[in-house]
Structures are given as C-alpha cells and as structure tokens.
Structure 1
Amino acid sequence: MSNPVYGKQAKRSSNVEKKPVLIWLLVIAFIAFLVWTPFQVALFNGQMLEFEKPLFWAIALSSILLFLWIANYYKSFKLAEQRDWLPVAVLLLPITYLLSYFGAASHYLAMNMVLIECLYAIMFIISIYLLQDRRANSIIQTTIMTVAYLIVGFGYLNWFGHGKLAGTLVAWFSNAVLNGKYTDAVMTDSNGLRLTSVFQYANTYAAFLMAFLFAAVFCLTRSKKWYGKAIHAFMLVPIILSLLLTLSRGGLVMLPVVFVLLLLFLKPAKQILWVVYCAIAGVASLAISKEVTDLGLQLNQNFEAGKAAKGWAFLLIVSVVVAVIGWIIQAFIAPKLEQGLTKASAKKLANLWIPIGSVIVVGVVAFLLIGTNVRNVLPQNMSTRLENINFNQHSVLERITFYKDGMKVVGDYPVLGAGGGAWAALYEKYQNNPYTSRQAHNFFVQYLLEVGIVGFVIFMAFILFIFYKYIRGYIKTDEDGKNSHFLYLILALSLLLHSILDFNMSYVFIGILVFIGLGGMAAAMESQPLRKFSWKTEGAGWIYSLVIGICGVVVLITSVRFVQASNAGLEARKISQISTSYEEIKAPLDKDLKIRHNHPDSVVLLSSLYQSVYKQTQNDDFYNASYSLLTDALKKEPYNKSMINRLMTNYQLKNEQGKAYDLLVSNASKFNWDIDWYEKMIAQGFELGYTALGKGDTAAKDKYFKEGINAFEKVQAGLKHLATLPKEQLAGRPFANSPAMILNAGKMYYMTNQLDKATATLKLGLQQDLSDPTNREIAHWYVAALQKQGSNDQAILDQLIKADPTEKEQIAKLVQINF
C-alpha cells in the first residue's frame, strides 16, 4: 500500500528545494540546539536562580530558530488539512499558562512556565514541518540518538570516577560544572550512590534511558548499514546497565509496560527481534552488574586508575560481544525470520500473541526478582530496591498523597488553575503531612493544577489527537512509512507514560524531547483535507507567520532581558558574600528588580540590605523602602515564606511586635505543617499576652493567648493525624512538641483558667532531668496547676525542691495569683 502521507510531504518539500541554504541553516541550528541543551537545561526545574540563565538562553535561541522557520515556511503554510491546524492549536498551550498567570500563586514561577511553554510550542512548530523532509528527518534522528549515547557515555565517565575529566569536557558550555565536576552526575540519597548523568535526578535519567533503550532496539532493527547495526547493538548494554545503576523502581516498573505497548505496533518478526535483543542485552548486563556497581561505588569514594580500567573493560568487552551478536542476527537471521513469518504476519491479530506472551514472561521475571531469592544475582543495592517494590512501599504511598493533595489545589483553582509552578508555591498549604517535595511526582496532576480543567482538557485533546491520527496513519502506511517517524512515538510515549510516576517533564530537556516527538508524530500522521472549512490562500501563511513572529520577538526580548536580570541577581548574591558595601550590592539588585519587579531572591536580599542599613542609621527611609518592597512583592508572591519572614523582621525592627505576630498568625494556614512556625506563634503569643496582662489590657491578653493556644491545639491535632498514617509511609519533616512549646501553651492554659488542659499539656513535657531550666519550669507550672485544682504530684514536687529548695514557696505564690 502506498503511503498517503508521504505524497503530501513530497509536495511540501518543494519549498525546501527552493531555499536549500535557509533550510539547512535551520537544520544545523536545530541540531546545535539539541546538542547544547542537555548540558544546560536538563536539570532546570523552574525554581532556582542558578538554573535561570541557561533556561532563558535556551528560550532566546528557540526564538531565533522560530525566525528561521518563518523564513523557510511562511509561503507553504496552509490551513487545508487537519495537520495544518496543529501549529495553531499548540499556541493554546502557552496561552492557557498565560491565562493562569493572572491568578497565579507565584507570578515569578508562573512567568517562567509561560516562557517554557513557548519554548515547547516552538519546538513542536519547527518539528512538524522540518521532519516532513526525509533528509532533515534522518539527520535529526541521528542527532537525537547521538546525543543520547553521549549522555550515556557521560554518565559512565562519572560512574567510573572520571568526574574531573567529564567536567572538563563540558565546562566550556555548561553552567552545571562546579569545582571541576558536573554537579550530582552521581547523586547520593538514602539508597546510596545513584547514576544520574546530566539530569541530577536518577528517576528522570531512568525515564530517559527507558525511552532510548527502545529507540536503540528500533534503530538496530531498521539499520541498513553494518556500522549502524553495530553501534546500536553496542549501546544496548550500557543503556540497560545505566538503568540498573539509577536504582529507579519507577523505571523498572514502567519498562515492561512501555515495551508491551510498543510491541503492538510491530509485526511478529520485529517483535521477536525486539524480545531477543532485549533479552540478550539484559542477561549480559546482569552478568556484569555486580562488578560494575561495586567498582563504581569504590571509584566514587577513592579513584584508582586500575579499577577504573577494569570497570571500562567489563563494560566495553561485553558491549562488543553483544554488538557482534546483534550484527549477526540482524544481518543473517532477521531477513530469513521476516520472510518466514510473512504469512503469519498477514493473519488477523497476529501481532497480539507475542505481546501477550511478553506480559506473561514479564510477570514471571518480576515474580522471580521481587518475590524470590533470584534477585540475589543482582548487586545488594539493586536487590534491596527490588525487594521493596510493593504498593505499601513508602514512595508509592507518598506519591498517592501528593496526588490527593494536588487535587485539593484543583478544587480551589478548578477553571484556570493556580499558575505555573503552583505546586511548589502551594504544597505546604495543602499537604496531608509534613513532606518536602516541590514537585507533585506526576506530570498530569501537576499540569492540571497549574492550568485548571480548561488548560488540561486542551492539552490532553492536543496530544490524544496526535496519537490517534498517528496510529491511524501508521496502520495504513507501508514499512518505510512506519519506520520513518516511529522513533518519535517511542520518545513521546515512553517519557509521557513514565511522567505519570515522576516529574520528568519539569526537566526542560525532557520536555523538548517530548514535543519534538509529538511534532515528529504529527509530521507523519494521517492528515485528511478539511472539506467544510479550508483556507487555501497564501494569506493564511502570512497571517500565521506575522502572529508567531510578533510572539517570537516578544519571547526573545523577554528572555534576553531575563538573562540580564539573572546575571544581575547572581552578581548581587556573589558580591554580598564578599562585601558589605551597600552601593555595590544594591546596584545589581536594582537592575534585576527593574526587569523582574518581584523576583523573590532579589527582593529578600535587597530588603535585608535595607534593614541592615536601618539598624545602623535608624533612618526611616530605609525602613520604609524595605516595607514597600516586601508588601508590593507579596501581592504577587503571597506564599513566599522568606518574604513573609523578612516582613516580620521589618516590623520587629520598629518594635511593632503586634503587627509581626498578626502577620505570623494570618499566614499560618499557608504552612500547616511547619513546626517552627507554630513554635513561634505559641512563644510570641504567650510573650505578647503576658505583656498585655501586665499592662492590664485583658482584651489583648485574651486575643494573644487564644491565638497561641489555637496554634498548640493544631499541633496536637496534627500529631493525632500523623499517627493514622500507614506505618510504611514516611511522615516527612520533624513535627513534634518541643519543651518550649509545651511550657508556653501550659502557661497560657493556666492563665486563662483552663487548669485541666494546663495540667494535661504540661504533663506531656515532664522529664526526669530537672537540671535543665525549661524542664524544671514545666514541672513547676505542672504542680501549680494540680494544686490550684486541689490535687498534687508529690514525687515531682520533691524533685523540684531537691533541685531548688525555694520551689515550694514559689509554687504556693503562683497558686494564689488570679490571672
């Protein structure tokens, strides 16, 4: 059957022939962008000052790519087919983020996400047209695979202790190199060392590796050159072994799911080859996994050239063996296999049997590795991770909690969402327990709460339409048509599915790959003419090019200015560490805030500078400047804890303790599980109430004591809630009563004549060691509360008298006081 899609592509490629210089300039620039990006924005998640500059440069460069696209395609742009409307539809994605910006929980983070979505839209627009050209498509696929293999190699350089060498190789164009090494290319957590390569997060690297494992197998089975077969077969072991070294349970769980789904697209002969290649490479990887793991663990502690050479030898020799086997199979066995299964492939549902069988095999293997001692063939750290795969495992329970909390945000911001970066800004308000996670660990939940139902429906309709039309076209096209753009399906499907379990899409490089994947799928999708509504005039191209050209100019100017602002913010931070000069620090901060009026880091630093000068000079101009800066910024960043704390400090400089406390109380609901926040509320509530009591201001005393007591009771309610969590789930940050908190709450209960509550509260803090002043004071008020109720605790009283013989008289006096 002929390929209906490629007939249309041939017509459109005529524009390429007319402007070979421009089109190849676009191809070269696009390739350079793909090579540069992983080492610049692979680790950016939109929330840290250090990562802003490379992000904004990437957005600026993408705008330049967009202008090259306009120069090539403005005349060939039509609105005659379904596919033609996708470059228009993709603009709705940044538009929905722009709409959510106006009611965003953090305007700073929301603006970053608007720009990131513009970057993704640009990647999609360029890809959908550029990848319709056969030569450009081939070159870009080769580039993508080359970049992926370089990232895998970069990971091994770090794993085998060559961190300095790896850092030197990329230091000239990467901002992630610190002290000569790429930051956290091998990360450390409670599980030990985990390989991350350029991503700094093992689970995202696992998602990347999963996608490119299948991409490598696909490229192996379609390669016609002997060296192509050898290279892709050679990379199978490094990729699988890297996946094991990430210790990512999510990667191992999603791997068979994606594998089976991809098998459904293949004919039986190709399915068998995929299974065989994965099996061979998997067994080979497991065979050397212990040695490579142990050597890597040792080399990251203490480098020895001999051990590094041994690690490389294991990896390279086994990879070469697998490459030879893969080349032999593909060169001699694969053609005969495909010929022998020609009739079987023609049968209905023939492509279902092997995927079904694969599900059974995967189930058996999973049982053996998770439920039996077979997992002991793996290194200890991998075996332990596999042993803990279950639905009651803490990371699973925590993710479920994240998703539930995310839906609470959706409930409060249902239509347009809470803006880009909303989870990072809001999670402390909505969290079920005191975990720390600035990511929701689910791209789709995070997208929904950021742009609301409207934006989410638009996004899902966009990607599902592309998948649907691509699959329709894939079924109808010939073998060459199937192979031409299948790599893009692999990337988009693998990365999006894994993003159900993690925040891969918060890494901009992963997002770029996904949108290039979607663009590649759209380039080959089944595209039907629009009979009822069609714009076939040249004007459509001019209008569209003008609109996105203007948008591109705005994005370019904005991103370049943000680069300047980031430079200024970083300069101010650097100066503040080595200088106390007001003028030197303030100058770059003014430059940053002139461009980004509410940039949190610069607002906090400048306000602290104003406050420092005010303390030295007592000049109210500096106090007022700090106050105005903070109050204006908090209108756009109402959930920024650092700004709120800085404003409280501002009030305290003027001894306006009441205003500082009111600010503390009014913002408490934003940080429901911050025990330090509660402790300050309770301590300051007592101090202010006690001061008001001394002045005879009963109303103020009651107000402050009531607020302090409410804070304490929220802590007790929180502790009861934490006790209901499954035992396997980690509670998160410390959340417990402190002696000072118990003492202050007990005093407030006592002074408001809630003696039974005072007794119960103070009893919580009783300790055997009464040499500590706080412990002794808790016992002192505890006995007083009992005696005021006509009771006593003689044992505690005796201990107090032993520590201080005057305690009996002091307690008696306290009992006589009527508050």
Structure 2
Amino acid sequence: MSKPVYGKNAAQSRNVEKIASPIWALVVAFILFLCWAPFQVGLFNGQQLDFEKPIYVSALLSGLLLLVCLGLYFKKIKLDEQRDLVALASILLPLTYALSLFVAVSHYMAMNMLFIQSMYVAVFIIAFYLLKQKQVNVVIQNAILAIAYFIVGFGLLNWLGSNKLAGALVGWFSNTVRNDIYLDAVMTDSNGLRLTSIFQYANTYAAFLMAFLFVAIFALIRSKKWYRTLTHSFMLVPIIVSILLTLSRGGLVLLPVVFILLLLFLKPAQQILWILHLGVAGIVSLLITTPVTNLGLELNTNFTSSAALKGWGYLLGASLAVAALSWIIQRFVAPWLEKKLSNWSSRKLTGLWIPLGSVALVGIVAFLLIGTSAKNILPSNMTTRLENINFQQHSVLERITFYKDAIKVVKDYPILGAGGGGWSSLYEHYQNNPYTSRQVHNFFLQYLIEVGILGFIVFMGFILYIFYKYIRGYVKRDKNDFENGFFYLIIALSILVHSLLDFNMSYAFMGILVFLGLAGMAVVMDSKQLRKNWNRTGFRLGYSAILTLGTVFLLFLSISYIGSSNAALKGKNLIRVSTSYEEIKTPLSEALKNRPNHPESVISLSTLDMTVFNQTQDEQFLNEAYNVLTRALKDEPYNKYLLAQMVSYYDIKGQSDLAYSVYLDNADKFSWDINWYDTLINRSFALGQQALNQKDEVKKEKYFTEELEAYNHVLTGVEHLKTLPPEQLQGRPFSVTPTIALNVGKMQLLSGQEDAAKSTLKLSSDANYTDIMNSETPWNIDWYSSLISRSFDLGQAAYAQQDNVDRIENMKAGFAVGLLAYNHVLTDNDPSKTLAPDVTLKVGKMQYMSGQIQKAISILKPALSQDFADATNREIARWYLAALTKTGGEDQAIYDSLITADPAEAAQIEAIANSQF
C-alpha cells in the first residue's frame, strides 16, 4: 500500500519525487481556475440568464483540466487501494443527477445542476491526483490561502468605501461588476448594512470566513518561518472583524461548534495554542469593531479619504499588534507548552478535557456579550442581532417551516428526487405560508429533494466514508503526518456544518472548496490494499474510458450550451435596441435549438411573435408562439412566467375561457400567491357575468362556483396565517384584496345574497378603501365613482415617488381597483349608471398610463362633448388625442377644435404622448 509521506523525514524514506513540467503546468492552470471561480460562479438559482454562462464555462474548463490530468496520470491510475475506489465512486454523484433528469420538475435547472455536479467531481479527481505530491500539495494550500486572504481584503475595501478600487481589481474578469462596482459586496436588509464581499449573501460569507479563520490559525501554528507566522496571524483580525460585519447569527452560533469539533483532533498543547491565538485576536478585534463598523456605515453613504484612512488605521494597527503577539506566543510559549504537556498528550482521553472546558468558556463569553453590559463593546446593530438569538426568533421559526415543507416534497419524490432545482420549482406548491425562499436553507435536505433517497445515500456514503477513513487514520497514526489533510478537513467540515442552517453550497465556489477539501482528506485517509482482481487492466482501462468518455460528452454539451447562452444573451440585448423581427428572432431561435425549454428565450420569442401578430394579424406568428410555449411547458410545468405567457397567448386569441383554465388548473401550484388567486377570481367573475348576460345558467353556476371555491381558499389561508407564532414572519401579503372583495361581493349580489355581499366588501384588507367598502349603500354609481377616484389618486401618488424604482408597478397596482370598478359599471349595462365626465377622464388616464392605449381611446372618445370651453372636456380631448398620437392615428376635427379653444394644448398633447409610463 503506497502512502503519501509528509513528515520531516520524507526525503530519507524515499527518493524525492521529481515533478514533471507538464504536471506543474496543470497545477498552475488548476490554481488559475480556483482564482477565477469565486468571481464567476456565484449563487445558482436556475433562473438568471446573465449568470448561467459561467456555469457552462466552468464545466468546460474543469473538464479540460480533467482530461489533461487523466492524460498525465494515465499510468498511475490504479485500483489497488481503498482511496482509489473513492475517486471511482465520485463519478456516481453526477450520475445520480443525470438519473433525476427523467423525473425533473424543471429540466432547465436540472441540467444546470448536472453541470455543477460534474464540475465538482472534476475538481475532486484532479485534486486527488495532484495532492498526492507534497510539493504540489503545499503550493495549492498556499494558493487557497492567498485567494481567501484576497477575498477578505476585497470585502473590507468595499466596507471602507473603496468600492471603485475593489471593482477595478476584479472588473476585467468578473461578470458581477456594474458601473465599476461589484454588486452587493455590502448588502442592505432589515438589519442595515452587512458585509458580503464576493458572495452577495452575508451568511455564506460568514461560513467562508469561519473556515478560513481556523485555517489561518492552523497555518500560523505549524509555520516554521517567522514571516509565515506573521502573515497568517496578521490576517486574524481582518477575518474576525469581517465575520462580525456580516451580522450573521448562524455564523456566530456555529463558529464555536466547529471550533470545539476541530479541537478534538489536536494534542493538548495545540489546543491551548489555538485558544490563545483565537482569544488574543478576538479580544483585539472586539476593541476596534465599533469604530470600524461606524466608519463603514458612514463611508458607504458619504466617502471621505480621512474616514477611510482612519478605518484602515484601526485594522492595520490591530492586525500588527496581533501578529506581534502571535509571534511571541509561537516563539516562546509554544515550545514550553510542547515540553510541559508531552507526557500528558500520550494519555488516553486527555484530548477531550480542553474541548469540554471550551464549551463552558463559550457559554461564559456568550453570557457576557448578551446578558451583561459587556455587550456595549459591540456596535448597536451587532448587539441587537446577538440579543435576538433564540429558538423563537423569526429566522429560526422560518427555517423550521422550510424543513417541514421540504419533507413534504421528499414524500412525493422519494426515490429519484425532483431533479436539480426541485425546491426552487416546487416550494410554492408545498409551502405552509407565503414565504419567498428558493433555497431550503439546509444543503442536505435540498440535496435529498433533488436526487431522492437513492442519490442522497450515494452522496452521504461518499462524504461519510472519507471522513470516517480520515479520522480512523488520524487516530491510528502520528498526527503530524496528517497536517496537510487537516488543512482540508477544516475547510470541508466548516462549510458543511454551516450548511446545515444555510444554502452555502448553492454557491458553486463553496462547493468547489468542499470537494477540494474532500480530495485533500482522501489523499491521506486510512487506506487498505484491495484484492488484486480490482487492479486488473480491464477494470483500470474501463474506469479511465468511462471517465474520459463522460468528460468528453460533457465538454461537447457545455460548448453547445455556451453557444446557446451567447445566442440568448444576444437576443435579449437586441430586444432593447432593434426593431427588426428577423434580427431579434435569429439568435433566440438559435438559443432554443438545443434548449427548447430555456425559459427566458421562450418568453422573449413568444412575446416577439405575439407583438408582430398584433401588428400584422398573421396567424403564423401566433402559431409559432403557441408551439414554443407548449414545448417549453412540457419540461417546465411549474414555471409561473411561462404559464402567464400562455395566458397572454389565449387572451390575444380571444379564448378567455382557456386563459382562465390556465389559472384554474395551476392554482394548486401557487397556493399562497394572492395575485394568482386575485386574477383567478377576477376572470371567473367576468366569465360568470358574461354567461349571466347570455342567459347561460349552467356556465354561470360553474364559474361562480369556482370563484367561490377560490375565495374560500383565500379565507382559509387568512385564518391559517393567524395560527403562526407571533415571532414568525408571514411572508408575502395574503389577504382579501379590494379587487377580490369587489368581484366576490358582486357575484354574491348577482346571486341574490346582498347581505353576504356587504360583508365580503368589509373584509377588504386595504385601509385606503375602508370607508368606501363599509358603505351601507354600495353598488350604485356614486359608490363606483368614489372607488374610481380613490384608486386614481392612489396610483398617481405612487407614480409621483420619483425615487422609487417600482413606482410604475405601484402605480398600476393602485389603478387596479378603479379599472375593475369601471369594468363592473360597463358590464352592468345599466343606463342609469353613467359616470360623470371627470370620472370617465380618470378611467381613461388610468388606462393610458397602464399601457392600455386602445382601451383609453375607446373610453375617452364617447365622453367628449362639443363644449371646448369646459376645462374637463379639454382635458378629455387632450388625453384622447395623445392616445391617438401614440398609436399613429389622428382626429383632425377634434384637434382643430381643441387648438382653437386653447393653442397651448398642442404642447401638452405632445408632452403626454412622449411621457414614459
């Protein structure tokens, strides 16, 4: 059995292995890939076209590196040890994802996850062969540390206001830099500013920092050179301060857990050194955290060079102080401890005493920082976060809900899972309340959902076997021989433990680190000799052939997907600047040739076709839109945006009953989407009233019954939400909206239930309409006019908020009640219900500002009178003519009459026509 030798006498135990230049070239390429990955392969949620290409490029690069590795190590690929079987078993991981493709609820996302898993395995196998050589192992460790330290520095540059400089450092190769600034390196949420560095998510950055805090301590303790000791100890303060700046409660809770687990692997002298270094760095970091926090908050609002220099002064001064103290500890205290505790280390179970004592120490520190005035050493935002650490805190309760809902998915997709991205596609169908979370916040549960019990057993067997064999070897042998493996253990263990509470592994770079860590552990794990028949030429060649053929297949597939992604991006960009149908369609069709289920391209092409149909009335465009959508929905049946696009198709065709069926048939997929149910109820009422006007009693009863069932679903949901613990956030709004109340109330009125109709109106959740909904005389023209006027005012107020990026959408939402009220008046077909001209004007303006230009024209023209001396009539004419201008039409007679009355109206018409709503 061949064993890698890492001890001091390695050169004496065997000839020093000479590493060929091609292998060093592979090492350099692999390190460059590791440098590239953190700034390219970020969070994968399966939905963003802008972020999918790096996945395919990374799969291509890792596959190419794997082929080179297989070529260089072809003669060394053997199956004579247990560790060799681990490399073989890793191939099963992407195979389980390939198997789940047959039952995937989203083929698009499942394919993307297959690429990611293939990349992980490529990284594992490459690292497995490279790390067997000590020189290479050391080089890769140093490279990983350098990358980690750069990421820490990058985050602090952004925190202290130098985001332009930080963006310039990575902007030439990162796809996440916009306007010279890295997106969300400092994120904002309800807790204020939080440091995220490259991850754009504070909790994952905290997991990364936790791993490399312990790696840095390990590195400084084993360093034999003074400059290495100073380098690693210098980084402790920036890392700890960065952890605190993330405001991650999960990071602070799990940090001592991982620390104590790691202590179990160390000798007593080393355990004390770890505690000393962490204690010194922690105390110094706490002393400067408040000023660094406050300066960062200030600099992210208003940058001044003096404040930035002051912040860096705190960090550099504290780091230098800790570096000096750590050097003293290593120079004088470490040898003394080794000498004093050498006999103690040989006794059984002595390694447990200090970790057990550390549990008590952690409890004391936690009590001081939460329950005493010692917490005042921290900034107020951190103090608040610490005080809220309890099992009744909303994030804890929400995670418990995620986990319960995840188990529901597993029960329905037990064996092969729901495919990659299964939770993201299905969670709205299974959720207990209307939260928004495309991640389970538990990597292991999410993995179980995606590949089912079969794939989960394969994965857990893979990682547990590596951990078991590594620990077994660690216990049996001299621990010093396993220092290199311990470096990788720290990374893998830290990230995986934190992933119990968060979705760190949804960041591909974090997954790369974990599989790199597993490979480093596998290289030095306890490994017994296999039977000779495993090492037969046929087995070895078969293993190499399968790996090579699989890699080549994925290389060609990734090249195809890169081309498709490029075409999709080109089409997306052309939509903004081109008016040529053929020019826009060509790249979109190219994108869909190999990926007919690509959601964004399907939506773009079908929208283009429907737009051209509206202009030409040529059915071939509409047919293409239908074919593209139906093909995509076969693979993406839970994609809400594709379903909404199909509704648009049916609306253009005038098939309102089929459009309604899309909402009805898919309502259970989006049980807590109040907008879905609002639209479902609106369409069922409209079809029911249409059937009533046509004297079709059967259809009327059908639609009104389905409307009532949908309404009862909403009422049941509202009551259920009242049972949530008061500390748990409800999530998205879910209540009886004014439009639901209007439609259901009118349906009850038409069914002869006048009292029930009044009661329904009073259930409306919008306080802006409470006085109107509580009226004792609803449904008359004055009541409708009040609703229309109130809705118009609310929409206008939303539009006036210039600093709100969602003001257009908020404006349209504000107009919804008024436009629905007008539709009710219109469909009543009651001559006694005639709106006053000023109210009709408001309806027309709402239609125009909502983009429904033709409807605005049809509403405003009949409201015109010949009295252009009347200000209201002039305004009606003004908006009517602006709408005509917008559509390329004209009404010269009205225009001449208006300009005669007031020549200034010409400029106002032009201003309205040119306005962007």
CA contact (8 A) 1:3 1:476 kept: no
Cα pair distance change 1:175/1:670, threshold 3 Å: same
**Distance (whole Å) between structure 2 residues aligned to residue 91 and residue 105 of structure 1:** 24
Q: Between 103-112 and 585-594, report the one with greater CA deviation.
A: 585-594
CA contact (8 A) 1:74 1:541 kept: no
Counterparts of residues 93-492 of structure 1 (less than 5 Å): 93-492=93-492
The alignment status of 1:569 with 2:572, answered yes or no, reads: no
Cα pair distance change 1:778/1:726, threshold 3 Å: farther
1:707 match: 706
1:670 match: 669
Residue aligned with 2:717, SS: helix
**Distance (whole Å) between structure 1 residues aligned to residue 63 and residue 30 of structure 2:** 11
Aligned residues: 786
The one-letter code sitting in structure 2 at the alignment partner of 1:614 is F
Q: How many Å apart are 1:744 and its aligned residue?
A: 1.2
1:804 match: none
Q: How big is each residue's C-alpha offset from its partner over 1:651-691, in whole Å with a ceiling of 9 and x where there is no partner?
A: 01011000100111001111111111111111111110110
Q: How many Å apart are 1:544 and its aligned residue?
A: 1.6
Counterparts of residues 644-683 of structure 1 (less than 5 Å): 644-683=643-682
1:690 match: 689
Q: How many Å apart are 1:748 and its aligned residue?
A: 2.2
CA contact (8 A) 1:69 1:126 kept: yes
Q: How big is each residue's C-alpha offset from its partner over 1:436-470, in whole Å with a ceiling of 9 and x where there is no partner?
A: 11111110110011111111111111111100000
Cα pair distance change 1:276/1:19, threshold 3 Å: closer
1:558 match: 557
The one-letter code sitting in structure 1 at the alignment partner of 2:251 is G
Q: How many Å apart are 1:775 and its aligned residue?
A: 7.0
**Distance (whole Å) between structure 1 residues aligned to residue 150 and residue 78 of structure 2:** 38
**Distance (whole Å) between structure 1 residues aligned to residue 203 and residue 427 of structure 2:** 21
Q: How big is each residue's C-alpha offset from its partner over 1:362-392, in whole Å with a ceiling of 9 and x where there is no partner?
A: 0111122223332221001111111111111
The one-letter code sitting in structure 1 at the alignment partner of 2:744 is A
Q: How big is each residue's C-alpha offset from its partner over 1:679-705, in whole Å with a ceiling of 9 and x where there is no partner?
A: 111111111011011112111111111
CA contact (8 A) 2:762 2:773 kept: no
The one-letter code sitting in structure 2 at the alignment partner of 1:65 is L
Q: Between 562-571 and 377-386, report the one with greater CA deviation.
A: 562-571
**Distance (whole Å) between structure 2 residues aligned to residue 776 and residue 609 of structure 1:** 46
Q: Between 196-205 and 745-754, report the one with greater CA deviation.
A: 745-754
Q: How many Å apart are 1:47 and its aligned residue?
A: 3.2
**Distance (whole Å) between structure 1 residues aligned to residue 771 and residue 380 of structure 2:** 45
CA contact (8 A) 2:660 2:683 kept: yes
Cα pair distance change 1:638/1:778, threshold 3 Å: farther
CA contact (8 A) 1:765 1:775 kept: no
Q: How many Å apart are 1:3 and its aligned residue?
A: 10
Q: Between 572-581 and 144-153, report the one with greater CA deviation.
A: 572-581
**Distance (whole Å) between structure 2 residues aligned to residue 14 and residue 777 of structure 1:** 97
Cα pair distance change 1:614/1:219, threshold 3 Å: same
Q: How many Å apart are 1:629 and its aligned residue?
A: 0.6
Cα pair distance change 1:265/1:588, threshold 3 Å: same
Residue aligned with 1:193, SS: strand
Q: Between 572-581 and 675-684, report the one with greater CA deviation.
A: 572-581
The one-letter code sitting in structure 1 at the alignment partner of 2:263 is L
Cα pair distance change 1:199/1:618, threshold 3 Å: same
CA contact (8 A) 1:22 1:68 kept: no
Higher relative contact order (CA 8 A, sep 6+): 1
Q: How many Å apart are 1:751 and its aligned residue?
A: 3.4
Q: Between 536-545 and 424-433, report the one with greater CA deviation.
A: 536-545
1:496 match: 496
The one-letter code sitting in structure 1 at the alignment partner of 2:304 is E
Residue aligned with 1:37, SS: helix
**Distance (whole Å) between structure 2 residues aligned to residue 536 and residue 55 of structure 1:** 35
Counterparts of residues 781-792 of structure 1 (less than 5 Å): none
The one-letter code sitting in structure 2 at the alignment partner of 1:570 is L
The one-letter code sitting in structure 2 at the alignment partner of 1:552 is T
Cα pair distance change 1:775/1:641, threshold 3 Å: farther
Q: How many Å apart are 1:585 and its aligned residue?
A: 1.5
Q: Between 470-479 and 97-106, report the one with greater CA deviation.
A: 470-479
CA contact (8 A) 2:422 2:449 kept: yes
**Distance (whole Å) between structure 2 residues aligned to residue 32 and residue 701 of structure 1:** 67
CA contact (8 A) 1:709 1:749 kept: no
2:869 match: none
The alignment status of 1:22 with 2:16, answered yes or no, reads: no
**Distance (whole Å) between structure 1 residues aligned to residue 581 and residue 320 of structure 2:** 62
**Distance (whole Å) between structure 2 residues aligned to residue 629 and residue 767 of structure 1:** 39
Q: How many Å apart are 1:581 and its aligned residue?
A: 2.3
CA contact (8 A) 1:485 1:524 kept: yes
5+ long unaligned stretches in structure 2: 784-824, 833-917
Q: Calculate percent identity across the aligned residue pairs.
A: 56
**Distance (whole Å) between structure 1 residues aligned to residue 514 and residue 484 of structure 2:** 17
Q: How big is each residue's C-alpha offset from its partner over 1:761-807, in whole Å with a ceiling of 9 and x where there is no partner?
A: 2342499998998776983499x9xxxxxxxxxxxxxxxxxxxxxx9
**Distance (whole Å) between structure 1 residues aligned to residue 65 and residue 771 of structure 2:** 68
Cα pair distance change 1:305/1:769, threshold 3 Å: closer
2:874 match: none
2:599 match: 600
1:613 match: 612
Cα pair distance change 1:761/1:4, threshold 3 Å: same
**Distance (whole Å) between structure 1 residues aligned to residue 238 and residue 63 of structure 2:** 35
**Distance (whole Å) between structure 1 residues aligned to residue 586 and residue 742 of structure 2:** 47
The one-letter code sitting in structure 2 at the alignment partner of 1:496 is L
Cα pair distance change 1:16/1:173, threshold 3 Å: farther
Cα pair distance change 1:746/1:245, threshold 3 Å: same
Q: How many Å apart are 1:88 and its aligned residue?
A: 1.5
CA contact (8 A) 1:66 1:122 kept: yes
1:723 match: 722
Cα pair distance change 1:745/1:509, threshold 3 Å: same
**Distance (whole Å) between structure 2 residues aligned to residue 268 and residue 136 of structure 1:** 30
User: TM-score if structure 2 supplies the norm length?
Assistant: 0.83
Cα pair distance change 1:537/1:686, threshold 3 Å: same
**Distance (whole Å) between structure 1 residues aligned to residue 382 and residue 101 of structure 2:** 43
Q: How many Å apart are 1:597 and its aligned residue?
A: 1.3
The alignment status of 1:578 with 2:577, answered yes or no, reads: yes
Residue aligned with 1:385, SS: helix
Q: How many Å apart are 1:157 and its aligned residue?
A: 0.9
The alignment status of 1:82 with 2:82, answered yes or no, reads: yes
**Distance (whole Å) between structure 2 residues aligned to residue 594 and residue 768 of structure 1:** 50
Q: Between 740-749 and 222-231, report the one with greater CA deviation.
A: 740-749
The one-letter code sitting in structure 2 at the alignment partner of 1:420 is G
The one-letter code sitting in structure 2 at the alignment partner of 1:223 is S
**Distance (whole Å) between structure 2 residues aligned to residue 73 and residue 500 of structure 1:** 36
Q: How many Å apart are 1:15 and its aligned residue?
A: 13
Q: How big is each residue's C-alpha offset from its partner over 1:291-350, in whole Å with a ceiling of 9 and x where there is no partner?
A: 100011111111101110110010001101100111111122201111110011111111
Q: How big is each residue's C-alpha offset from its partner over 1:211-270, in whole Å with a ceiling of 9 and x where there is no partner?
A: 000000000110111111000000000000000000000000000000000000000000
Residue aligned with 2:419, SS: coil
Q: How many Å apart are 1:634 and its aligned residue?
A: 0.2
Cα pair distance change 1:763/1:192, threshold 3 Å: closer
2:540 match: 541
1:642 match: 641
Cα pair distance change 1:771/1:534, threshold 3 Å: closer
**Distance (whole Å) between structure 1 residues aligned to residue 385 and residue 301 of structure 2:** 22
**Distance (whole Å) between structure 2 residues aligned to residue 689 and residue 772 of structure 1:** 28
**Distance (whole Å) between structure 2 residues aligned to residue 394 and residue 452 of structure 1:** 29
CA contact (8 A) 1:746 1:781 kept: no
The one-letter code sitting in structure 2 at the alignment partner of 1:646 is Q
CA contact (8 A) 2:209 2:243 kept: yes
